[in-house]
Chain A
Amino acid sequence: MSDVPEKAVVIGASAGALEALSVILPQLPADVTPPVMIVVHVPPDKRSVLSELFQAKCRVAVLEAEDKEPIRSGTVYFAPPDYHLLVETNGLLSLSSDEPVLFSRPSIDVLFESAADAYGAGLTAVVLSGANQDGAQGLASVVEAGGTAIVQDPDTAFASAMPQAAVAMCPTALIMSLEEIATYLQKARSA
């Protein structure tokens, strides 16, 4: 299992996701970046263009996650529309068609909770702009498992409800601007 990354990053974003991720993802260095799993709330019936859009702008590989795909460093995985994305403890990604959580599929909480379980203190979780409550519960699980919680400063977010809910649930979370989050993640390493 020596090639399985020990650390990982998870990100959740909703309204304002594109703008926020456009600041963060292009700054990630290739190869050394820990795996990054991302849930963006997208409509269920559309083919998502997120992975193609960001692949063109990023040095890291950007994929739409497939079921039982091995998690690799230097790679960003987007949850596909209409599926939950989960992290298994054996270094694989899983998808699920379970019902939406807080009206969302994919759900940020589902990703964060499973990743907290798999990576424990090795996990960094980031809640970005959004107009709902998704991610707050998941972030609490990350903190409980010893991981690092980061929330986009609600005052600077396109939609502040989601970061606000996350901060309310996790008062110890680091509050950062998008640029600070980008710099922080740029320095993250996969081992």
Chain B
Amino acid sequence: MEMPGPEKVEDIEIRLLLEALYHQYHYDFRNYAMASVKRRLKQAREQLGFSTISALQEKVLHDPSMLPRLLGFLTVQVSEMFRDPSYFKAIREQVIPHLGTYPSLKVWVAGCSAGEELYSLVILFREEGLEERTLFYATDINQDALRMAEAGIYSLDRIQQFTENHRRSGGKSSLSDYYTAAYGHASFDKSLRQRVVFSDHSLVTDAVFAEMHLISCRNVMIYFDRPLQDRAIGLFKESLTRKGFLGLGAKENLRFSAHSSAFNDFVREEKIYQRCAT
């Protein structure tokens, strides 16, 4: 590593901007993994037309309408329906049989972004006959993303990929059963949202809100530093019923977590963990 020396000016500016966002708006990015934050803030600075991060900070402090635009850069998530089909196949074939033994179920998609993963799970639960006894919670800190998730409208040019992923996940129906296409967009059926609660929730600052049987949080915690990852994983641990399931992204793991002993590998290669019985 570089010798500790005087901090670069831009690093100071970034630290101050994150403090400002927290104190003014209670959005806390201070424990995000800095390499990505830095990249995203540089993009935001350039595309929003500021010469320095400090100038961006001044604007966002005094003009609340700048906040959602900045959050768009800081919280952007790119996903697909049934991203990593083998993950959904493992949920379908190995997790669903366990969940089927409960009379009622709660599923939490933490960091749901524009809703691709939420709809994937609802469709999968419908195909497996568990939708009617399940309540889904879809949470995110970004209001714009939540609105998009609740709308369930995606560009038609993404549907081919979604359809192929769905098929490879062992889908028992045709994805086209669930949307209507018009004007270049696919609009997903509102019946898929009947059993979904959309809510503003932060893994950084908010608490447990229900007892879950399955939590899916994929490629969200990669943006956190390790202490913050541990906070989120602790929150999942507290939220899960005994023997409940936690699904992470393909390259995430609990190896480095203080809570790793509370979980067992359930499907190791798909990063699906089970909360220990004790």
Binding site for B on A (CB under 8 A): 1, 4-6, 64-69, 80, 83, 86-92, 94-99, 110, 113-114, 117-122
Cβ of A114: which chain B residues have Cβ within 8 Å of it? 35, 38-39
Asked whether A98 and B36 contact (CB < 8 A) given A92-B226, A118-B1, the answer is yes
A91 to chain B, nearest CB (A): 6
Give chain B interface residues in 1-47, CB to chain A under 8 Å. Answer: 1-2, 33-36, 38-40
The reply to whether A98 and B40 form a contact with Cβ atoms under 8 Å apart is: yes
Cβ of B3 to closest chain A Cβ, rounded Å: 8
Which of B35, B225, B253 meets A86, CB within 8 Å? B35
User: Does B104 belong to the interface (CB within 8 Å)?
Assistant: no
Residues B250 and A97 in contact, CB atoms below 8 Å apart: no
The binding surface of chain B is classed by DSSP as: loop
> By the criterion CB–CB under 8 Å, are B76 and A120 in contact?
no
Q: In the bound complex, do residue A80 and residue B33 qualify as a contact, i.e. CB atoms below 8 Å apart?
A: no
Complex-state Cα separation, A114 to B35, whole angstroms: 6
A96 to B1, CA, bound (A): 21
- Contact call A88/B34, Cβ cutoff below 8 A: yes
Q: Of A64, A80, A119, A120, which is in contact with the most chain B CB atoms at under 10 Å from its CB?
A: A120
> Which residue on chain B has the smallest CB distance to residue A92?
B226
Q: How far is the CB of B181 from chain A (nearest CB, A)?
A: 24
Q: Of the candidates A67, A86, A120, which one forms a contact with B251 in the assembled complex, judged by CB atoms under 8 Å apart?
A: A67
Contact with A along B220-239 (1 / 0, CB 8 A): 01110110010000000000
Query: Which of these, A6, A80, A89, A98, contacts B39 with CB under 8 Å?
Result: A98
Residues of B within 8 A of A95 (CB): 222, 251
**Known contacts A89-B34, A121-B2, A68 near B226 by CB under 8 Å:** yes
Q: Which of A5, A66, A67 has the most CB of B within 10 A?
A: A67
Partner of A117, one of B38, B78, B221, B250: B38
> Do A110 and B39 have beta carbons less than 8 Å apart?
yes
Q: Which of B1, B2, B255 has the most CB of A within 10 A?
A: B1
Tell me whether B252 and A6 are in contact (CB under 8 A). no
Given A96-B223, A98-B40, A98-B76; A117-B35 close (CB under 8 Å): yes
Which residues of chain B have C-beta atoms less than 8 A from A88's C-beta? 33-35, 225
Q: Give the distance in Å from the alpha carbon of A69 to the alpha carbon of B255 in the complex.
A: 9
Residue of B nearest to A80 (CB): B251
